[in-house]
Amino acid sequence: MTRSIAQLVEAVVAARDDIAAIRSAAQLISIVEDAPERLPELIQAISRLAEASRPRHARLLLGVTGAPGSGKSTLVDAMVAECRTRFPERRVGVVAVDPSSPFTGGAVLGDRVRMMRHATDPKVFVRSMASRGHLGGLTLGVRGAIHVLGLLGCDVVFIETVGVGQSEVEIAGVADLVLLVLAPGQGDSVQLLKAGLMEIGDVFVVNKADKPEAAKVHAEVLAALELDKQVHAGEVDPLSAESGDGSQAGDALAFERGRCGRVEPRACLVSAQDKKGVVELVDAVEEIAAGVAGPSHEESGLAGRARDGFGRPAGRTSSGHRTVQAVACASG
C-alpha cells in the first residue's frame, strides 16, 4: 500500500505518536529522493495543510562541509547532542550525503556510524543519502528531505556534504550558515581555503583540537581570514564608495546576495571526539543565527531560501568589511 505524497504529509501531521510520524516522514523523503521532480507536489501539499499550529519549516539549516576525514559526522553527532541538551523539547534533523560509485551507482553510506547513539532518540531524525551522480556536494533529494524534516517539526537541520573538496559550494545556497570543518593532517588546509572554500564558510571549525598540530591550523585559518578581509577591503574602489573605507559598498553587495552579509566569519577550535569546544561552537552558531534571522524570516531569512532550492549564488566575496573573530574554545 503505497500512499500518495498528500496522504503522507497528512500522516506526518496527524500521527498519533513519534514512531508513526517518523515512518511517514521517512517514506516521504524516499519519494522525493527517487523523484526529485515531485518536489513542487510536496511543497504544495505542505502549504495546503490547515493553518499551521507550528512552523512547517526548520528554524535553522546548518551546512557542514570539509574534507573527508576532517570529522564532519563526529561534529554533527556532538552538535546534535548539545542541541538536544539545550532544547530537550525540540527535534533535530540530519541529512548526510556520501558519494555514489560512478561505476555501479551503489554507495556505502557511513556517516550514520558516528551518530548511532541518537538512533533511538525519537527527537532526532538522521537520513543518509547517496549523491547519485550529482556534483557539488549534495544530491537532489536533499531539498525534499529539508522540507520533510521541517514538516516533522525539526528546529535545526544539519546538512553534511560529501566533502570531496573545492567544488562543494552548493551547500552555501541551501544552508543558512555553513560550518567548514578543517583538521590537522588533512593536507594543506590553507590551500583548501585559497581554492574557493573560503567564501562559503561562516564558521571555520578547526577540529581535532586534541592533536597538537591543531593550534597551528587554527592560527593559519585566522591568518587566512584576516588576509581575505584585507584583500576584499582593497578591492573596493574608495572613490565609488560613499565613505572612504569602502565598508558601505561592501554592505550593499553583501545585502544583495541575501545571505549572511552581516555575519563575520569565525574560527573555532574544537575536539568533536572529546566534546571540547562544542558548547562554545553552538553558542556561536546561535548567536549568528539570532543576528541573521529577522522579521522577514518567512520570505528571505533563515530557511526561507531552502524552499526555493539551490538557486542562490554561492559565495560571498563581497563582504570585505567583515572582521575576523576567534572564538575561544578548547585547546589541546
Partner 1 sequence: MPARVPKPRILIGKPGLDGHDRGAKYVAHVLRDAGYEVVYTGIRRSPEQIVDAAVQEDVAAIGLSLLSGAHNVLFKRIIDLLKERGAGDVLVFGGGTIPPDDLPGLEKLGVAAVFTPGTSAKTIIETIDRLLAGRAKP
Residues that bind partner 1 (CB under 8 A): 2, 19-20, 22-23, 26-27, 29-31, 34, 100-102, 104-110, 112-113, 116, 119-120, 125-128, 130, 132-133
Q: Considering only residues 74, 100, 139, 161, which one is a binding residue for ligand GDP as defined by CB under 6 A? A: 74
Residues in the chain: 332
C-beta of 72 vs 118, nearer to ligand GDP: 72
- Residue 70 contacts ligand GDP per CB under 6 A: yes
Q: Considering only residues 9, 59, 73, 155, which one is a binding residue for ligand GDP as defined by CB under 6 A? A: 73
**What is the footprint of ligand GDP within residues 94-153 (CB under 6 A)?**
111, 114
**φ, ψ for residue 178, nearest 5 deg:** -115, 125
**Segment contacting ligand GDP (CB under 6 A): 23-31, 51-59, 147-155, 271-279?**
271-279
Whole-angstrom distance, CA of residue 158 vs CA of residue 94 = 5
Q: Considering only residues 18, 121, 210, 220, which one is a binding residue for ligand GDP as defined by CB under 6 A? A: 210
Burial of 2 (0-12, 13-18, 19+ CB in 10 A): exposed
- Name the strand (E) or helix (H) holding 57: none
Binding site partner of 30, from partner 1, ligand GDP, Mg ion, none, Cβ cut-off 5-8 A by kind = partner 1
Task: Determine the Cα angle at 189 with ends 187 and 195, to 5°.
Answer: 110
Residues touching ligand GDP, count (CB under 6 A): 18
Cβ atoms 302, 107 nearer than 8 A = no
Binding site partner of 135, from ligand GDP, Mg ion, partner 1, none, Cβ cut-off 5-8 A by kind = none
Q: What is the dihedral of CA 278, 279, 283, 289, to 10 degrees?
A: 50
- Residue 30 contacts ligand GDP per CB under 6 A: no
Cβ atoms 184, 67 nearer than 8 A = no
Task: Cell 554533527: give the residue.
Answer: 76
Label each residue of 167-219 as H, E or C.
CCCHHHHHCCEEEEEECCCCCCHHHHHHHHHHHHCCEEEECCCCCCCHHHHHH
Whole-angstrom distance, CA of residue 21 vs CA of residue 218 = 42
Binding site partner of 326, from partner 1, Mg ion, ligand GDP, none, Cβ cut-off 5-8 A by kind = none
CB of 39 to ligand GDP, least distance (A): 27
Q: Considering only residues 36, 71, 93, 150, which one is a binding residue for ligand GDP as defined by CB under 6 A? A: 71
- Residue 72 contacts ligand GDP per CB under 6 A: yes
- Residue 189 contacts ligand GDP per CB under 6 A: no
Give SS3 for 193. helix
CB of 209 to ligand GDP, least distance (A): 7
- Residue 272 contacts ligand GDP per CB under 6 A: yes
End-to-end Cα distance, the chain? 54
CB of 174 to ligand GDP, least distance (A): 18
Q: Considering only residues 132, 211, 257, 307, which one is a binding residue for ligand GDP as defined by CB under 6 A? A: 211
Give SS3 for 230. helix
Whole-angstrom distance, CA of residue 97 vs CA of residue 162 = 5
| Contacting positions for ligand GDP (CB under 6 A) | 66, 68-74, 111, 114, 163, 207-208, 210-211, 271-273
